Structure 1
């Protein structure tokens, strides 16, 4: 059974949505298949395992780095007698503001970092980015620096962690670009499946904003007609229906975990009209927001 994790389960302070840990897994302490409401960046320090992601498993070894976006299910498969040591970095997408990354030269902001290095079956190094020796040293230095700051909690540590995280974003983006220039991976376009995954990742991160088909088609450089057709083929629902699904799931979580008024929950998940929100909630959940909160499910 798939578990659902929330970043709040790990946080020491609510206002700084970040957590980092270095840990070891073996065949006796493998995490269950799980998804979460945060972005997870994993760096493999040593050892080997298989990463089971969205129904497939891929080999991992030292120097691999990969991203898991919100609501993507994954776990590890580890052979008896083997283990894998990782640095796990968990954060909310809004920890670093998009404008900051644009000013620092990260192409297409957060969406570039989340999606581009990990795109299609051939383009994504089997859902990971394989670092070379010099890149490994730089990534490990940044992650270790974040670990030290997180554990010491000295004055200004939040700012230092944000800066190091931006450094890491830029470094990994450069690694990806260099790999393209050097022909280390195929440059063929993303498959329909990966295009839909990119769109889903964007919707998960921007569900609380004003979203429409025209904006998405411009963002992903595809016509509105083709976007709807591909999305319906892959997901069996329309883009707009997917937006509603994501928003309602987040609303359910807010109703269970906070005392926010329904009208405020509606606004926080992207709906200006509370009546329309309540109508959609009944349609997707089978009861009103108030009743859902009262019964806790």
Structure 2
């Protein structure tokens, strides 16, 4: 079986690496194991993630943790690309910042770093709010590693630690919710998850509540109600959030004009895109790109 080492990714045999990668059904990596821990965030896509003897369905907003030595592979559905952010690190990379914080060692996503016999939570499905918080930190980590500003390794360690603490809180919160609040009917949960996956996949196209109602054979009123109930936001708000996140990625990773990026992520009106971007990010798309460029 293929064994992957962290030095295969890092330039200086460091203890941490992060990257964004895309896979289609024909180019998914074969089953392999790592000599490091891998935290995987699913940006969009669907399929199955096999970790050890278990298989988990892949959805946008899911987080997986693959321990050292655990075999895993992806099976991507036909016609569905998979985009993920891989965060790879050695346990001592995080332990170094928590040596004097024993109260944090009991958190679900930190305990396995201090006790090899404690398992990680293998998969955690995040709500849209939780997903946005985690994705924002991962995007910041990607920029730190890409541009390597002074002190970037310290920043990377702190942000990764923050992500693990947030995931621990989300995990514990979901446990309390399951105990104290009657769960939403499974059929509603599945519908909302499918809608979210659809938005992640087709965000660049014209999407309306009416078109979604037709796509999922439901009434517009029913879709609006259950989507708001599950995610806390409207379908339009979710779609705008997805498009803005994709626009931020294009602003940083390409030289395309703001007008071209607006069109690429589904905004026919670049002026509306710029106003919406400024309202959500606190600056214009051009200023966002300029601010992120290394000095």
TM over 0.5: yes
1:277 corresponds to which residue?
none
Instruction: Give the whole-Å Cα distance in 2 for the aligned partners of 1:183 and 1:117.
Output: 19
Instruction: Give the whole-Å Cα distance in 1 for the aligned partners of 2:105 and 2:16.
Output: 23
Instruction: Give the whole-Å Cα distance in 1 for the aligned partners of 2:129 and 2:80.
Output: 26
2:50 corresponds to which residue?
52
Please, which of 176, 181, 195 is the counterpart of residue 181 of structure 1?
A: 176
Q: In the superposition, relative to structure 1, how do residues 87 and 154 fare at CA in structure 2: closer, same or farther (>3 Å)? A: same
Q: Is the 8 A contact 1:106 1:173 kept in 2?
A: no
Q: CA deviation at 1:12?
A: 0.8
Instruction: Give the whole-Å Cα distance in 1 for the aligned partners of 2:99 and 2:40.
Output: 21
Please, which of 139, 144, 147 is the counterpart of residue 149 of structure 1?
A: 144
1:34 corresponds to which residue?
32
1:111 corresponds to which residue?
111
Q: Is the 8 A contact 2:48 2:74 kept in 1?
A: yes
Query: Any gaps of 5 or more consecutive residues in structure 1?
Result: 119-126, 186-297
Matched, 1:135 2:133: no
Q: In the superposition, relative to structure 1, how do residues 117 and 36 fare at CA in structure 2: closer, same or farther (>3 Å)? A: closer
Please, which of 84, 87, 90 is the counterpart of residue 88 of structure 2?
A: 90
Aligned pair count reads 175
2:2 corresponds to which residue?
3
Q: In the superposition, relative to structure 1, how do residues 90 and 99 fare at CA in structure 2: closer, same or farther (>3 Å)? A: closer
Q: CA deviation at 1:103?
A: 1.9
Q: In the superposition, relative to structure 1, how do residues 158 and 75 fare at CA in structure 2: closer, same or farther (>3 Å)? A: same
Runs (4+) off by over 6 Å: none
Q: TM-score with structure 1 length normalisation?
A: 0.55
Q: Is the 8 A contact 1:64 1:129 kept in 2?
A: yes
Q: Is the 8 A contact 2:94 2:157 kept in 1?
A: yes
Query: Any gaps of 5 or more consecutive residues in structure 2?
Result: 181-295
Instruction: Give the whole-Å Cα distance in 1 for the aligned partners of 2:173 and 2:149.
Output: 36
Q: Counterpart of 1:11 in 2: which secondary structure?
A: coil
Q: In the superposition, relative to structure 1, how do residues 62 and 28 fare at CA in structure 2: closer, same or farther (>3 Å)? A: same
Q: Residue deviations 1:123-158, cap 9 Å, x none? A: xxxx41000111001100110000000000111100
Q: Is the 8 A contact 1:20 1:90 kept in 2?
A: yes
Instruction: Give the whole-Å Cα distance in 2 for the aligned partners of 1:141 and 1:72.
Output: 28
Q: CA deviation at 1:160?
A: 0.6
Q: Is the 8 A contact 1:6 1:36 kept in 2?
A: yes
Q: Is the 8 A contact 1:117 1:176 kept in 2?
A: no
Q: Is the 8 A contact 1:106 1:112 kept in 2?
A: no
Matched, 1:166 2:166: no
Please, which of 62, 65, 86 is the counterpart of residue 64 of structure 1?
A: 62
Q: Is the 8 A contact 2:67 2:120 kept in 1?
A: no
1:22 corresponds to which residue?
20
Q: TM-score with structure 2 length normalisation?
A: 0.55
Instruction: Give the whole-Å Cα distance in 1 for the aligned partners of 2:177 and 2:31.
Output: 36
Q: CA deviation at 1:8?
A: 1.1
Q: Is the 8 A contact 2:24 2:82 kept in 1?
A: yes
